[in-house]
Amino acid sequence: MYEIKVKTDFSAAHNLKNYHGKCEHLHGHNWIVEARFNYKTLDKDGMAVDFKEAKRVLKLAIELVDHAYLNEVRELKGINPTSENMAKFIYDRVKKNNKNISSVSVWENEDSCATYQPGA
The residues assigned a catalytic role are 23, 67, 108
> How many angstroms separate the CA atoms of 49 and 68, rounded?
30
> How many angstroms separate the CA atoms of 87 and 37, rounded?
14
In the chain, % helix, strand, coil (3-state, to 5) comes to: 30, 35, 35
The maximal CA–CA distance of the chain, rounded, in angstroms, is 54
Q: How many CA atoms lie within 13 A of 105 on its CB side?
A: 13
